[in-house]
């Protein structure tokens, strides 16, 4: 029987661990990420007769290389390629939270956006048009209150559909300045030719343009003897300075 792998990503304090606990109950264990002092929580649950293994990623404001937390979250999404990444957002500060959602959407299309703390939003009189957000982002959106375990079933139905390929999200693409878009256009074909669909080419191009040395190091470590990855890393080092 297949076990789907799910990651929970999101800004700090958006209720990821509350959701994680609601999903897994006692079927969880914690430890540290290899080589890091960042806590790693992993657990299991079933839904509609399917088994899901879920990782509670550290809360981060971005997925670049600013901290060990960000590297852990980024590396998991890029290298471990979960079947679905649930991006947990705080309903009371959606605008700020959506920044991370957009970053995840550049890394993978297998995303479900989960708007949590709906109870708090209701108290503040905030109303959220879920259909519109889903339409604009190009991915399914569910609304929950993790603390009171409201909305979890509907969330899991969407997660299962994305995991099984019955829903194939088509995320919006952020368009950058003319100059950046031109540089991406130059880099992307090389990355795609070299890496195939091992990693999202546009995202790798953006990271190279960003001079993200830590990503290059992670790619190198991950690649082992992979010649194509080494080629991109070498190329990247000439672009990044
Ligand atoms: N009112 C309300 N509070 C919630 C809800 N979900 C989580 N919380 C509270 O929000 C706080 C943060 O929740 P956590 O689950 O620790 O958040 P987190 O995203 O894991 O935080 P980090 O691990 O620091 O990134 C806790 O006090 C939770 O009880 C919810 O649906 N409604
Ligand atoms: Mg947490």
Does residue 11 have its Cβ closer than 6 Å to ligand 1? no
* Residue 215 near ligand 1, beta carbon < 6 Å: no
State the DSSP string of 130-163: HHHHHHHHTS-EEE-BTTTTBSHHHHHHHHHHHH
For the stretch 196-214, pLDDT in tens is: 888 899 999 999 898 888 8
165-176 pLDDT, tens per residue?
999 999 999 999
- Over the range 178-216, which residues count as b (16 or more CB within 10 Å of their CB) and which as e? eeeeebbeebbebbbebbeebbbbbbbbbbbbeebeebb
Q: Is 91 in the pocket of ligand 1 (CB under 6 A)?
A: no
- From residue 55, alpha-carbon distances to 36, 42, 183, 213 in Å are 16, 5, 35, 26
Q: How far, in Å, is the centroid of ligand 2 from the Cα of 48?
A: 26
Q: Specify the pTM.
A: 0.94
Per residue in 57-69, is it b (16+ CB within 10 Å) or e — as a string?
bbbbbebbbeeeb
Q: Which of 30-44, 165-179, 226-240 has the lowest average pLDDT? A: 226-240
Residue 43 Cβ < 6 Å to ligand 1: no
Q: Which of 128, 147, 132 is nearest to 21 (CA)?
A: 147
Token digits for 206?
């953006």
123 CB burial (10 A radius; 0-12, 13-18, 19+): exposed
Residue 241 scores a pLDDT above 60:
no
Homologous superfamily of the 3-164 domain (CATH): P-loop containing nucleotide triphosphate hydrolases (3.40.50.300)
Ligand 1, atom 9, residue with closest C-alpha:
15
What is the CA(15)–ligand 2 centre distance, in A?
7
Domain boundaries, the chain: 3-164, 178-230
Pocket test for ligand 1, best of 13, 40, 72 (most atoms within 8 A of CB): 13
């Amino acid at each position: 029987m297949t076990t789907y792998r799910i990651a929970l990503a999101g800004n700090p304090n958006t209720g990821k661990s509350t959701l994680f606990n609601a999903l897994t109950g006692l079927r969880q264990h914690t430890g540290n990420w290899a080589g890091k002092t960042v806590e790693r929580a992993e657990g299991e649950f079933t839904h509609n007769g399917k088994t899901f293994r879920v990782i509670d990623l550290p809360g981060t404001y971005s997925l670049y290389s600013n901290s060990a937390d960000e590297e852990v979250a980024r590396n998991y999404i890029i290298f471990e390629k979960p079947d679905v990444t649930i991006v947990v957002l705080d309903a009371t500060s959606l605008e700020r939270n959506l920044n991370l959602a957009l970053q995840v959407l550049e890394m993978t299309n297998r995303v479900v956006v989960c708007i949590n703390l709906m109870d708090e939003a209701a108290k503040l009189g905030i109303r959220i048009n879920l259909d519109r957000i889903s339409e604009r982002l190009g991915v399914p959106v569910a609304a929950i209150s993790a603390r009171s375990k409201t909305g979890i079933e509907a969330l899991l139905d969407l997660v299962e559909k994305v995991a099984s390929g019955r829903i194939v999200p088509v995320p919006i693409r952020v368009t950058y300045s003319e100059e950046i878009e031109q540089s991406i256009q130059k880099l992307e074909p090389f990355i795609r030719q070299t890496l195939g669909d091992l990693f999202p080419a546009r995202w790798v191009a953006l990271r190279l343009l960003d001079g993200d040395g830590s990503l290059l190091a992670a790619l190198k470590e991950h690649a082992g003897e992979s010649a194509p990855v080494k080629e991109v890393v070498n190329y990247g080092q000439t672009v990044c300075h």
